[in-house]
Amino acid sequence: TQGAYPGIDAEERGQAEAIARNLREMAGLRTPVIVVVIGEGGSGGALALGVGDRVLMQENACYSVITPEGCAAILYGERTPERVARAAEALKVTAPDLLALGVIDAVVPEPPGGAHRHPEAAIALVGEALAQHLQELVALPLDELLARRYAKFRCMGEGVVIEGKNESTPS
């Protein structure tokens, strides 16, 4: 989905707390956690899934903290096609970009024409990826699995360069 409603009503009903609780609970699950982003994953709800031991993403899926349209409205004050395209490029919402940034761990290929045209083939490809990653994860001792999960989540965003400046470098 594009994400949850970002208004005050949602916050009054505890949306942020629910996302934070989900992150905490998933971080402590004493079993392998594999996340698969299919279609569109956006906003805090989708990002709450990023705490998995492995985050897989179909090659034509999108995954971001905000939609390009929402980003354009906030940053540029307008949602013109040009501004939305610029926001999409800056957000790096595609599987190859997110793999290069270390946000996801693997790209799951889709059948020619996309998953929506050949759902059975897409399901099989996701199943193969899940089986491969699960086999690797169950081989790890539980304490090591949890330590790796924690370290992975804590390191997200390190070394990301924004506008020619390393985010981890103080201003």
Instruction: Spell out the domain ranges in the chain.
Output: 17-154
Identify which of 68, 105, 66 has the alpha carbon closest to the alpha carbon of residue 86: 68
Tokens of 100: 């290069």
The reported pLDDT for the residue numbered 41 is 84
pLDDT for res 161: 59
**What is the pLDDT at residue 154?**
84
What is the C-alpha separation between 171 and 154, in angstroms, rounded?
Answer: 21
For residue 162, pLDDT beyond 70: no
pLDDT in the model for residue 69: 87
Q: State the pLDDT confidence band at 169, using cuts at 50, 70 and 90.
A: very low
The CATH superfamily assigned to 17-154 is: 2-enoyl-CoA Hydratase; Chain A, domain 1 (3.90.226.10)
Question: For residue range 8-41, what is the model confidence (pLDDT) as tens digits?
Answer: 887 788 888 888 888 889 889 999 999 999 988 8
Q: Residue written as tokens 């004050």?
A: 77
Exposure string of 17-56, with b = 16+ CB inside 10 Å and e = fewer, is: eebeebbeebeeeeebbbbbbbeebbbbbbbbbbbbbbbb
Confidence at residue 58, expressed as pLDDT on a 0 to 100 scale: 98
Give the N- to C-terminal CA distance of the chain in Å, as an integer. Answer: 35
Mean pLDDT of the chain: 87
Q: What is the pLDDT of residues 123-143, one digit of tens each?
A: 999 999 999 999 999 999 999
In terms of Cβ atoms closer than 10 Å to its own Cβ (0-12, 13-18, 19+), residue 98 is: buried
Which run of H or of E encompasses 9? helix 8-12
Taking alpha carbons only, the member of 46, 44, 24, 43 closest to residue 35 is 46
For residues 68 and 106, give the distance between their C-alpha atoms in angstroms, rounded to a whole number.
Answer: 23
Kindly report the number of other CB atoms within 10 A of residue 89's CB atom.
12
**Burial (CB count within 10 angstroms: exposed 0-12, middle 13-18, buried 19+), residue 166:** exposed
pLDDT at 59: 97
One-letter amino acid of 23: L
